[in-house]
Amino acid sequence: MKKIISILVIALTFTLIGNAQDKMKAKATVVTLEQTKGEFTQKEITLKEGNYIFEISNNNVGHKVGFVLVPKGKDASKPENHISTAYVTKAVENNTKETSKVTTLAKGEYVYFCPLNPTPQYTLIVE
């Protein structure tokens, strides 16, 4: 009986976590960014505080691309400073697009770039 109760509690926990993630996703705004060879076409972005999903398009770069978001002033070369939820869930193949997980952004400045393309660092401002 204890085993059955434990299984039910675990199943309920996973259901609640899944429902919370689905609700967050529903409240997230999609930010679409396009990469071409060596650059993003959007050079600066201004957003309001909130939840975002980053959709990254690979426009004929010729190889896979990615997306990295870092608070401005932190060393972007160190993965521990990256906002990992903003990573695309898999590298973006040529002429396709992929999305990140829901990423909550607070007021401040951030930089974004692609280490695979590679691109310069661009500014993302959250007001």
What domains appear along the chain, each with residue ranges and CATH number? Answer: 29-126 (2.60.40.420)
Mean of pLDDT over the chain: 87
CA nearest 102: which of 121, 90, 118, 89? 89
pLDDT digits (tens, 9 = 90+) for 81-125: 999 999 999 999 999 999 999 999 999 999 999 999 999 999 999
Give dist(CA 29, CA 34) in Å, integer. 16
Within 10 angstroms of residue 51's Cβ, the number of other Cβ atoms is 15
C-alpha 39/C-alpha 24 separation (Å) is 30
- pTM here is 0.80
Residues in the chain, how many?
127
